[in-house]
Amino acid sequence: MRAMGRSESLEMRDRVQHGMRVSAIRRETGRDRQTIREIVTAAAPRADHGPARVPQPRFLEPYTEYIRQRTQDGCGNSVVVFDAMRTQGYPGGLTLVRAFIARRRPVATPVPVVRYETPAGRQAQCAGAAFGETEAPDGTVRQRWAFVYTLSYSRCLYGEFVRDTTQDTRLTCLEHAFAHFGGVPAEILSDHRRPMVWAQPRGGPVTGHPRFLDFARFPGFVPNAAEAYRAQTQGQGERPLRYLRGHC
């Protein structure tokens, strides 16, 4: 390993003074933990009354006001700020700049989500997703799909694996779910796949697939689709898919 220069040692000590952990410094520099600890220990004040150690300059101090101004102006990208500082003569590394900005970045407040509940028999949710590949007896590798159907009130789940996502397959899966539970809910909330939804622009009305609308009239349920680009509206349909991925 190459010898450590004075500038690298100074920067390493400066990182420790700014609260950076030894493990993070090791990842950044590639140096051994023991080497880093020895350099940090050597820079620490001694208990005896020997000659006073000359304090080393901190690389960030001349640039802290500049960083604050950039972040106040809306630039929170550490790389952009770092590149600008390098043109001004900043001798340190990106890690120090990133840590300094991170400590001053405002914490985003999560948007509260109102839990949506339905009475018994009111709604069911269905969804589908790709589930890896499977090999047929003849050696052909084909995509495998999962279909899940969840009763919104009780969270009772029905699911099956299928070989395609055609409309015939999706409608057959729904018939299997009706037979499994022995009934049909008043409403079925589906995902946005083409077998169910013809079109659903952001913020616009849902256009159901004509054949799916005809299918819904026979058992008498109201077809609906989850709000586009908002996964929370179909959590009861998506969570079973995550469960299957973790247990199948």
Predicted local distance difference test score (pLDDT) of residue 185: 95
- Residue by residue, DSSP assigns 23-78 as HHHHHHH---HHHHHHHHHHHSPPSS--SPPPPPPPSSGGGHHHHHHHHHTT---H
CA–CA separation, 248 and 244 (whole Å)? 5
pLDDT at site 173:
95
Report the mean per-residue pLDDT for the chain.
78
DSSP SS3 for 125: strand
**Cα–Cα distances in angstroms (integers) from residue 51 to residues 17, 39, 200, 208, 230, in the given order:** 21, 18, 76, 83, 65
Q: Give the pLDDT confidence score for residue 51 in this predicted structure.
A: 55
Q: How many CB atoms lie within 10 A of CB 216?
A: 20
Q: What's the mean pLDDT in 216-240?
A: 71
pLDDT tens digits, one per residue of 26-80: 777 777 777 777 776 765 554 444 555 544 447 888 888 998 888 888 787 888 8
Residue whose C-alpha is closest to residue 209's, from 228, 190, 227: 190
List the chain domain ranges. 6-45+55-104, 123-247
pLDDT greater than 50 at residue 96: yes
pLDDT at 54: 46
Which amino acid type is present at position 76? Answer: G
* Cα–Cα distance for residue pair 54/13, rounded to 1 Å: 13
Report field, pTM of the whole predicted structure over 0.75: no
Crossing angle of helices 94-104 and 6-17, rounded to 10°: 10
Cα 112–Cα 115–Cα 121 angle in degrees, nearest 5? 165
Q: pLDDT tens for residues 164-193?
A: 888 999 999 999 999 999 999 999 988 777
Higher pLDDT, 223 or 2: 223
DSSP string of 3-21, one letter each residue? PPPHHHHHHHHHHHHTT--
> Is the CB of residue 100 less than 8 Å from the CB of residue 67?
yes
Class of domain 123-247 as given by CATH: alpha beta
